[in-house]
Amino acid sequence: MTRAPSALTGGSTRGAVYALGAYLLWGVLPLYFLQLTPTGPFEVVAWRIILAFVFCLLLLTVLRMWRPFLAIVRQPRLMGLTALAGVLIYVNWQTYLYGALTNHVIETSLGYFINPIVTVLLGVIVLRERLRVVPWIAIGLAVVAVAVIVIGYGAFPWIALTLAFSFGFYGLVKKQIGPAVDAVSGLTLESLWLLPVAAIQLVFVASLSGITLGTAGTLHTVLLLLAGAVTAVPLLLFASGARRVPLTVIGLLQFVAPIIQFGIGVWVLHEPMTLERWIGFALVWVALAILSIDSVVASRRHRRVPADVVEPV
């Protein structure tokens, strides 16, 4: 009995390390994808789908997970939800690759900064969840931030908003799936549904500019072939971490990736950062700070409430 707390602490620490590793890898992804030039975003996404599927098949074999995977395949509801998740993650991947390979890394980071706020908003609209006043303030600041960027910068941040909403809806679908589908089986099925899309994109690319795999040197070929592992490894680290740490910890760690992406866009790639953009990002950061503090306070308050007492929202 005396060793239980330390075991729990060790598991939580390990989970936080797993989750942090996932977000660090997601954060530096722009640098990886930029090394794939001259491969365009449509070809990269096509190979990412195909190679992620192959990588997951290997994992299913090595980890001996075929039996639970086949059990999922026999359930039409879960198959339908994984198909919908596949469509949403495809939109997210394709938009992200377009942004990363066309000098819009800063805007992709904005999308993942906004994503937690979009998730809260979807909870209200779709799941009919009730919010306290403070989260509504954060949502309002995010809306103002987008308006400032649109009006001041003169361009609608469609990449950022597409990333935020596609990943937000993806999370919503994954919430409906719940623990019935593990991370490896989920990514396997999502990739499986997208294989026809990947094939069509490769045919399209081949007819227009030609397939680049194997034509731009050995290093380029190796990096492109690693797209499957690059896709799957952070997801598996995240899944392992999310099971071991509180949701508030995940909520705070999720800002690691967009912070790194923002830094890469500003200080490595030297993308333009006008005054209007700084103001817009500052408003988003204030909104996230408000949302994070409120989440931590609410979590601590909830832990102090007895198990048989329901705290009003």
pLDDT per residue as tens digits for the range 35-91: 999 999 999 999 999 999 999 999 999 999 999 999 999 999 999 999 999 999 999
> How far apart are alpha carbons 221 and 215 in whole angstroms?
8
Residue 247 confidence (pLDDT) = 67
Query: What are the phi and psi torsion angles at 211 (to 5°)?
Result: -75, 135
Residue 284 CB neighbours (<10 A): 24
Closest Cα partner for 164 from 210, 107, 123? Answer: 107
**Residue 264 DSSP label:** I
Q: Which residues of 134-150 are buried (b: 16+ CB within 10 A; e: fewer)?
A: ebebbbebbeebbebbe
Question: Which CA distances in Å does 271 have to 88, 99, 160?
Answer: 28, 12, 15
Q: CA distances (Å), 269 to each of 31, 34, 265, 266, in order?
A: 9, 10, 5, 6
CA 232 to chain centre: 12
Instruction: Say if CB 53 and CB 191 are below 8 A apart.
Output: yes
pLDDT for the residue 1: 43
pLDDT of residue 97: 95
In the chain the first and final C-alpha atoms are separated, in Å, by: 35
Please give the Cα distance from 67 to 182 (Å, whole number).
12
Rounded CA gap, 17 and 238, in Å?
Answer: 10
* Beta carbons of 269 and 313 less than 8 angstroms apart: no
pLDDT in tens, 181-198: 998 999 999 999 999 999
21-31 pLDDT, tens digit each:
999 999 999 99
Distances (CA, A) of 64 to 61, 170, 179, 184: 5, 27, 18, 11
Spans of the chain, pLDDT less than 70: 1-11, 153, 247-248, 302-313
Residue 281: CB atoms within 10 Å:
20
